[in-house]
Structure 1
Amino acid sequence: MQDINIKVTDRNGVTHDVIAPTDMAMNLMEVVRSYELAPEGTIGICGGMAMCASCQCYVKSDHELPEMSESEDAMLAEAFYVEDNSRLACQIQMTAALNNLEIELAPEY
Protein backbone atom coordinates (compact mmCIF):
# COMPACT_ATOMS: atom_id res chain seq x y z
CA MET A 1 0.00 0.00 0.00
CA GLN A 2 1.30 3.42 -0.93
CA ASP A 3 -0.40 6.72 -0.38
CA ILE A 4 0.55 9.73 -2.47
CA ASN A 5 0.46 13.46 -1.80
CA ILE A 6 -1.59 15.75 -4.03
CA LYS A 7 -2.07 19.52 -3.99
CA VAL A 8 -5.59 20.57 -4.97
CA THR A 9 -6.51 24.22 -5.43
CA ASP A 10 -10.26 24.51 -4.98
CA ARG A 11 -12.63 26.87 -6.80
CA ASN A 12 -12.09 29.52 -4.10
CA GLY A 13 -8.33 29.57 -4.70
CA VAL A 14 -7.47 27.68 -1.50
CA THR A 15 -4.78 25.02 -1.86
CA HIS A 16 -5.23 21.76 0.05
CA ASP A 17 -2.58 19.11 0.67
CA VAL A 18 -4.35 15.76 0.52
CA ILE A 19 -3.30 12.14 0.76
CA ALA A 20 -4.66 9.71 -1.82
CA PRO A 21 -4.49 5.94 -1.66
CA THR A 22 -3.14 4.10 -4.69
CA ASP A 23 -4.53 0.71 -3.66
CA MET A 24 -8.27 1.47 -3.83
CA ALA A 25 -8.74 2.04 -7.60
CA MET A 26 -9.76 5.64 -6.93
CA ASN A 27 -9.65 8.38 -9.49
CA LEU A 28 -8.81 12.03 -8.81
CA MET A 29 -12.47 13.11 -8.87
CA GLU A 30 -13.26 10.59 -6.12
CA VAL A 31 -10.36 11.91 -4.04
CA VAL A 32 -11.62 15.49 -4.40
CA ARG A 33 -15.12 14.38 -3.42
CA SER A 34 -13.88 12.38 -0.44
CA TYR A 35 -12.14 15.48 0.95
CA GLU A 36 -15.22 17.62 0.15
CA LEU A 37 -13.13 20.14 -1.79
CA ALA A 38 -16.11 21.11 -3.95
CA PRO A 39 -19.73 21.57 -2.86
CA GLU A 40 -21.90 18.46 -3.06
CA GLY A 41 -23.47 18.10 -6.49
CA THR A 42 -20.93 20.30 -8.29
CA ILE A 43 -18.28 17.73 -9.17
CA GLY A 44 -18.64 14.28 -10.65
CA ILE A 45 -22.27 14.75 -11.60
CA CYS A 46 -22.13 11.93 -14.18
CA GLY A 47 -20.49 9.59 -11.69
CA GLY A 48 -17.10 9.55 -13.41
CA MET A 49 -18.18 8.47 -16.88
CA ALA A 50 -16.50 11.41 -18.76
CA MET A 51 -19.95 12.69 -19.73
CA CYS A 52 -20.33 16.04 -17.93
CA ALA A 53 -16.96 17.82 -17.41
CA SER A 54 -18.00 18.92 -13.90
CA CYS A 55 -14.67 17.53 -12.65
CA GLN A 56 -12.52 19.42 -15.14
CA CYS A 57 -9.21 20.42 -13.63
CA TYR A 58 -5.99 22.10 -14.70
CA VAL A 59 -2.84 20.05 -14.22
CA LYS A 60 -0.21 22.41 -12.79
CA SER A 61 2.67 19.97 -12.30
CA ASP A 62 4.80 18.28 -14.96
CA HIS A 63 3.51 14.77 -14.35
CA GLU A 64 3.11 12.51 -17.33
CA LEU A 65 -0.52 11.48 -17.35
CA PRO A 66 -2.16 8.64 -19.27
CA GLU A 67 -3.16 9.58 -22.79
CA MET A 68 -6.57 11.20 -23.05
CA SER A 69 -9.34 8.87 -24.21
CA GLU A 70 -11.63 9.77 -27.10
CA SER A 71 -14.55 10.29 -24.70
CA GLU A 72 -12.52 12.62 -22.46
CA ASP A 73 -11.26 14.59 -25.47
CA ALA A 74 -14.81 14.90 -26.85
CA MET A 75 -16.20 16.05 -23.49
CA LEU A 76 -13.49 18.70 -23.08
CA ALA A 77 -14.22 19.92 -26.62
CA GLU A 78 -17.70 20.87 -25.38
CA ALA A 79 -16.74 22.18 -21.93
CA PHE A 80 -16.31 25.75 -20.73
CA TYR A 81 -13.04 27.26 -19.40
CA VAL A 82 -10.87 24.66 -21.20
CA GLU A 83 -7.12 25.29 -21.16
CA ASP A 84 -4.19 23.40 -22.71
CA ASN A 85 -3.65 21.62 -19.38
CA SER A 86 -7.31 20.67 -18.84
CA ARG A 87 -8.19 17.09 -17.92
CA LEU A 88 -11.20 15.36 -16.43
CA ALA A 89 -10.32 14.31 -12.89
CA CYS A 90 -12.54 11.22 -13.21
CA GLN A 91 -10.19 9.89 -15.89
CA ILE A 92 -7.00 10.15 -13.79
CA GLN A 93 -6.41 7.00 -11.73
CA MET A 94 -4.37 7.34 -8.55
CA THR A 95 -0.97 5.69 -9.04
CA ALA A 96 2.39 6.01 -7.31
CA ALA A 97 3.70 7.92 -10.37
CA LEU A 98 1.34 10.79 -9.49
CA ASN A 99 2.96 11.57 -6.13
CA ASN A 100 3.09 15.37 -5.67
CA LEU A 101 0.57 16.00 -8.47
CA GLU A 102 -0.72 19.58 -8.44
CA ILE A 103 -4.10 20.48 -9.88
CA GLU A 104 -6.61 23.32 -9.81
CA LEU A 105 -10.34 22.73 -10.14
CA ALA A 106 -11.85 24.54 -13.13
CA PRO A 107 -14.60 27.06 -12.41
CA GLU A 108 -18.12 25.71 -12.04
CA TYR A 109 -20.46 26.59 -14.89
Structure 2
Amino acid sequence: MLTGKQRSYLRKKGNQLNPVVQIGKNGITSSLLEQVEEVLEAKELIKIRALNNSLYTAREVAEELAEECNAEVVQVIGSVCLIYRQNEEEQKYNLPD
Protein backbone atom coordinates (compact mmCIF):
# COMPACT_ATOMS: atom_id res chain seq x y z
CA MET A 1 0.00 0.00 0.00
CA LEU A 2 1.39 3.37 -1.03
CA THR A 3 1.60 6.26 1.42
CA GLY A 4 0.56 9.79 0.52
CA LYS A 5 4.17 10.86 0.19
CA GLN A 6 4.92 7.95 -2.17
CA ARG A 7 1.81 8.71 -4.28
CA SER A 8 2.87 12.33 -4.53
CA TYR A 9 6.36 11.30 -5.65
CA LEU A 10 4.95 8.91 -8.27
CA ARG A 11 2.45 11.50 -9.55
CA LYS A 12 5.35 13.89 -10.06
CA LYS A 13 7.29 11.25 -12.01
CA GLY A 14 4.21 10.22 -13.98
CA ASN A 15 3.59 13.78 -15.11
CA GLN A 16 6.41 13.43 -17.66
CA LEU A 17 5.19 10.10 -19.08
CA ASN A 18 3.15 9.53 -22.22
CA PRO A 19 0.38 6.92 -22.23
CA VAL A 20 1.88 3.58 -23.30
CA VAL A 21 -1.37 1.58 -23.29
CA GLN A 22 -4.72 2.63 -24.72
CA ILE A 23 -8.01 0.93 -23.91
CA GLY A 24 -10.43 1.02 -26.83
CA LYS A 25 -13.71 -0.62 -27.79
CA ASN A 26 -12.34 -4.15 -27.21
CA GLY A 27 -11.84 -3.38 -23.53
CA ILE A 28 -9.45 -5.32 -21.33
CA THR A 29 -8.44 -8.54 -23.08
CA SER A 30 -5.91 -11.20 -22.12
CA SER A 31 -3.42 -9.87 -24.68
CA LEU A 32 -3.78 -6.38 -23.24
CA LEU A 33 -3.16 -7.76 -19.75
CA GLU A 34 0.02 -9.46 -21.01
CA GLN A 35 1.17 -6.19 -22.55
CA VAL A 36 0.51 -4.28 -19.32
CA GLU A 37 2.39 -6.94 -17.32
CA GLU A 38 5.44 -6.63 -19.59
CA VAL A 39 5.45 -2.83 -19.45
CA LEU A 40 5.04 -2.81 -15.66
CA GLU A 41 7.94 -5.24 -15.35
CA ALA A 42 10.15 -2.99 -17.47
CA LYS A 43 9.06 0.47 -16.32
CA GLU A 44 7.24 0.04 -12.96
CA LEU A 45 5.13 3.19 -13.52
CA ILE A 46 2.85 3.46 -16.55
CA LYS A 47 0.23 5.81 -17.86
CA ILE A 48 -2.89 4.36 -19.50
CA ARG A 49 -5.54 6.14 -21.55
CA ALA A 50 -9.17 5.04 -21.85
CA LEU A 51 -10.32 6.15 -25.30
CA ASN A 52 -13.73 7.72 -25.93
CA ASN A 53 -15.03 4.57 -27.64
CA SER A 54 -14.12 2.41 -24.64
CA LEU A 55 -16.87 0.89 -22.54
CA TYR A 56 -14.75 1.56 -19.43
CA THR A 57 -14.06 4.76 -17.53
CA ALA A 58 -10.47 5.52 -16.57
CA ARG A 59 -11.27 4.65 -12.93
CA GLU A 60 -12.66 1.22 -13.93
CA VAL A 61 -9.63 0.57 -16.14
CA ALA A 62 -7.21 1.53 -13.36
CA GLU A 63 -8.90 -0.60 -10.71
CA GLU A 64 -9.28 -3.68 -12.91
CA LEU A 65 -5.73 -3.55 -14.27
CA ALA A 66 -4.29 -2.92 -10.81
CA GLU A 67 -6.17 -5.92 -9.44
CA GLU A 68 -5.24 -8.22 -12.35
CA CYS A 69 -1.58 -7.17 -12.42
CA ASN A 70 -1.06 -6.89 -8.65
CA ALA A 71 -0.29 -3.18 -8.99
CA GLU A 72 -1.41 0.04 -7.28
CA VAL A 73 -3.51 2.87 -8.67
CA VAL A 74 -1.55 6.08 -8.22
CA GLN A 75 -3.82 8.60 -9.91
CA VAL A 76 -6.85 8.93 -12.20
CA ILE A 77 -7.50 12.20 -14.02
CA GLY A 78 -10.05 12.43 -16.80
CA SER A 79 -9.44 9.57 -19.21
CA VAL A 80 -5.88 8.89 -18.03
CA CYS A 81 -4.71 6.72 -15.15
CA LEU A 82 -1.35 5.99 -13.61
CA ILE A 83 -0.51 2.59 -12.12
CA TYR A 84 2.61 1.36 -10.33
CA ARG A 85 4.11 -2.00 -9.46
CA GLN A 86 7.54 -2.25 -7.86
CA ASN A 87 10.08 -4.45 -9.59
CA GLU A 88 11.81 -6.40 -6.83
CA GLU A 89 15.00 -7.09 -8.82
CA GLU A 90 15.66 -3.73 -10.45
CA GLN A 91 13.89 -0.75 -8.93
CA LYS A 92 13.59 2.32 -11.15
CA TYR A 93 12.07 4.60 -8.51
CA ASN A 94 13.45 5.20 -5.04
CA LEU A 95 10.21 5.74 -3.11
CA PRO A 96 10.34 8.00 -0.03
CA ASP A 97 9.46 6.44 3.34
TM-score by length of 1: 0.25
> Which structure: greater helix fraction?
2
TM-score by length of 2: 0.27
Higher RCO (Cα < 8 Å, 6 or more apart): 1
